[in-house]
């Protein structure tokens, strides 16, 4: 009982902390700014979703405080995703396993039925916690693959145990993505420019050693910053 109370109290404190207005993040940031990731393999522009305010504001805060500058994409799996956001990667020597670094807090899950794992979304990485709360800093950008109806039927039957909405099935059959992650990891935005950079990064050779899936040559977020929002066509 005492352990359960401590867990509940910790979760409540995290929610309260994240719900408080952050002086670093302004209304203008939320409504008129996108995020530019200047990587060593090209630029990626991300538009965050207003329907996931906790994840949106946390990502904006980390970008504005230069948290992601010089961070590596430390886990890369072709036809799946590219993952970054571990601050330990900034100074990691070659061959060092990564993926455990980040702030001391988690972000409560914000699953939305309209946000799904099509190609080019940004979603929060997490450990195997029962609440499915997100890492405070680690994220991934989806590449995935294009599915057939039979492939999606298999995902429904054996992986997610539910039906994929018809309009989302069409996206998975044309643009592609990673449907088995839906409603398990929080999606909180999408790439609106530079989706081809995801493909380039996903194709780099990776380690098969102790640092499995880490690129053999570092792929870095040189700088992350906010830029003025422009009207662009979505990748969907």
Domain boundaries, given as residue ranges, for the chain: 27-228
Q: List the Cα angle 96/94/72 in 5-degree steps.
A: 80
Query: How many other C-beta atoms lie within 10 A of the C-beta of residue 30?
Result: 14
For residue 228, the model assigns a pLDDT of 96
Does the pLDDT at position 101 exceed 80? yes
Mean pLDDT of the chain: 92
Q: Which band of pLDDT confidence, cut at 50, 70 and 90, is reported for residue 102?
A: very high
pLDDT per residue as tens digits for the range 104-140: 999 999 999 999 999 999 999 999 999 999 999 999 9
Could you tell me if 206 and 215 are in contact, meaning their C-beta atoms sit under 8 angstroms apart?
A: yes
Q: What is the distance between the alpha carbons of residues 23 and 111, in angstroms, rounded to a whole number?
A: 26
Q: Which band of pLDDT confidence, cut at 50, 70 and 90, is reported for residue 232?
A: low
Does the pLDDT at position 235 exceed 60? no
For residue 14, the model assigns a pLDDT of 47
Does the pLDDT at position 15 exceed 80? no
Torsional class of 189: left (φ above 0), alpha (ψ -120 to 50), beta (otherwise): left
CATH of 27-228, one of 2.40.100.10, 2.60.120.620, 3.40.800.10, 1.10.8.80: 2.40.100.10
Does the pLDDT at position 17 exceed 60? no
For residue 21, the model assigns a pLDDT of 44
Tell how far CA 36 is from the center of its chain: 14
Q: What is the distance between the alpha carbons of residues 30 and 21, in angstroms, rounded to a whole number?
A: 12
pLDDT per residue as tens digits for the range 130-169: 999 999 999 999 999 999 999 999 999 999 999 999 999 9
Tokens of 51: 């329907």
For residue 231, the model assigns a pLDDT of 77
For the chain, percent of residues with pLDDT exceeding 90: 87
pLDDT per residue as tens digits for the range 63-94: 999 999 999 999 999 999 999 999 999 999 99
Does the pLDDT at position 19 exceed 90? no
| Contacts by residues 16-24 (CB-CB < 8 Å, ≥ 24 positions apart) | 17/105, 18/54, 18/57, 18/58, 18/105, 18/107, 18/108, 19/54, 22/57, 22/61, 24/60, 24/61, 24/64, 24/65
Tokens of 236: 């969907």
Provide the 3-class DSSP secondary structure of residue 206: strand
């Amino acid at each position: 009982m005492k352990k359960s109370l401590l867990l509940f109290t910790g979760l409540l404190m995290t929610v309260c902390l994240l719900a408080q207005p952050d002086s670093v993040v302004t209304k203008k940031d939320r409504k008129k700014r996108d995020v530019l990731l200047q990587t060593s393999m090209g630029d990626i522009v991300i538009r965050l979703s207003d329907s996931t305010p906790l994840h949106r504001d946390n990502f904006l805060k980390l970008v504005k405080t230069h948290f992601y500058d010089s961070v590596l994409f430390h886990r890369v799996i072709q036809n799946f995703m590219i993952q970054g956001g571990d601050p330990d990667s900034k100074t990691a020597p070659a061959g060092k396993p990564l993926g455990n670094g980040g702030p001391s807090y988690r972000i409560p899950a914000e699953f939305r039925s309209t946000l799904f794992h099509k190609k080019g979304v940004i979603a929060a990485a997490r450990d195997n916690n029962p609440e499915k709360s997100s890492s405070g800093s680690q994220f991934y950008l989806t590449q995935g693959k294009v599915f057939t109806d039979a492939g999606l039927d298999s995902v429904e039957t054996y992986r997610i145990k539910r039906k994929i909405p018809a309009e989302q099935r069409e996206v998975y059959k044309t643009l592609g993505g990673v449907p088995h992650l839906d409603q398990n990891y929080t999606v909180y935005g999408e790439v609106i420019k530079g989706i081809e950079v995801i493909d380039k990064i996903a194709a780099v050779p990776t380690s098969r050693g102790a640092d499995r899936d880490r690129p053999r040559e570092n792929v870095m977020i040189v700088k992350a910053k906010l830029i003025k929002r422009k009207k662009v066509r979505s990748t969907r």
